[in-house]
């Protein structure tokens, strides 16, 4: 039984470096493994891409989420959001513990920008309640994000018991910080960097972060540490920084 949980979130940019200069999946896997997280929330994960598989000799045979999970995370879930001729991509959650239920809800607000909420229930050994994890990648436009946040709020109210531990993490594209009005004020979650440092972390671009796009919101935990992984070597493998946090279940 453990009451300590280490989590991370990362927009992996489909496994390519800045401006798609290099395919970096193998280096990306090493860096994610080094985080030592129990649960990892990933965005822009490629489930399949025929053209990349033909172009790159070391393109994994397995889907990216399975390739990244390797032998470290025993379970994973993938939410297919964007589908195109060559393949598809979406969000993924990797877990050291069994995922006992999961669902991907389509929250797209127009057909040119496909988005989803990947909601998993994780059975952590010794916990009486399952851990609810929601991986998000919200849209680029404010009106669409507002609608997506309302859908997220509705889902949490309907699907997650108030006494169940909850983590919502991902790329919120929330330039103006409006997500907190829903997640903090309405749902009583807390953002891990707001708790530990006073405001959300700068996470984009990864070489020298300026914008606070990525977040980890929690309910039912005490946050011990939170860290932004940016600069070299992280800036070689995605345009976003990775975020991680260590928490104690209340």
Q: What is the CATH number of the domain that holds 141?
A: 3.60.10.10
Per residue in 152-194, pLDDT (tens digit) is 999 999 999 999 999 999 999 988 887 778 888 889 999 999 9
Which backbone phi and psi does 90 adopt, to 5 degrees? -175, -150
pLDDT at 59: 83
Q: Residue 201: which pLDDT band, with cuts at 50, 70 and 90?
A: very high
Q: Cβ(96)–Cβ(32) under 8 Å?
A: no
Model pTM score = 0.95
d(C-alpha 77, C-alpha 134), whole Å: 11
pLDDT at 81: 86
Measured in whole angstroms, the distance separating CA 109 from the mean position of its chain's CA atoms is 20
Which residues constitute the domain of residue 155? 4-249
Domains: count for the chain:
1
- Mean pLDDT, the chain, whole residue set: 91
What pairing do the DSSP bridges indicate for beta strands 39-49 and 4-11? parallel
Q: Provide mean pLDDT across the span 210-230.
A: 96
pLDDT at 1: 61
Q: Residue 84: which pLDDT band, with cuts at 50, 70 and 90?
A: confident
Secondary structure (3-state) at 100: strand
Q: Provide mean pLDDT across the span 101-125.
A: 92
- Cβ-proximal residues to 114 (8 Å cutoff; 6+ apart), any chain: 81, 82, 83, 106, 108
Percent of the chain with pLDDT over 90: 69
């Amino acid at each position: 039984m453990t009451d300590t949980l280490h989590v991370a979130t990362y927009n992996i940019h489909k496994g390519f470096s800045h401006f798609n200069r290099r395919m970096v999946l193998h280096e990306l896997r090493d860096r994610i493994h080094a985080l030592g997280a129990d649960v990892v929330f990933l965005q822009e994960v490629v489930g399949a891409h025929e053209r990349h598989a033909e172009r790159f000799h070391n393109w994994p045979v397995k889907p990216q989420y399975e390739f990244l999970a390797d032998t470290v995370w025993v379970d994973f879930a993938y939410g297919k959001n964007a589908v195109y001729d060559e393949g598809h991509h979406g969000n993924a959650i990797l877990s050291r513990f069994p995922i006992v239920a999961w669902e991907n809800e389509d929250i797209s607000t127009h057909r040119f920008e496909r988005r989803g909420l990947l909601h998993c229930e994780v059975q952590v050994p010794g916990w009486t309640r399952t851990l609810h994890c929601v991986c998000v990648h919200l849209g680029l436009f404010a009106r669409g994000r507002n609608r997506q946040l309302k859908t997220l709020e509705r889902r949490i109210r309907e699907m997650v018991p108030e006494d169940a531990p909850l983590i919502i993490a991902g790329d919120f594209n929330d330039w103006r910080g409006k997500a907190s009005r829903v997640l903090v004020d309405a749902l009583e979650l807390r953002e891990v960097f707001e708790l530990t440092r006073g405001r959300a972390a700068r996470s984009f671009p990864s070489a020298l972060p300026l914008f606070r796009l990525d977040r980890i919101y929690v309910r039912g935990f005490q946050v011990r540490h939170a860290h932004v992984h940016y600069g070299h070597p992280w800036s070689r493998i995605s345009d976003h920084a990775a975020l991680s946090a260590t928490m104690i279940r209340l």
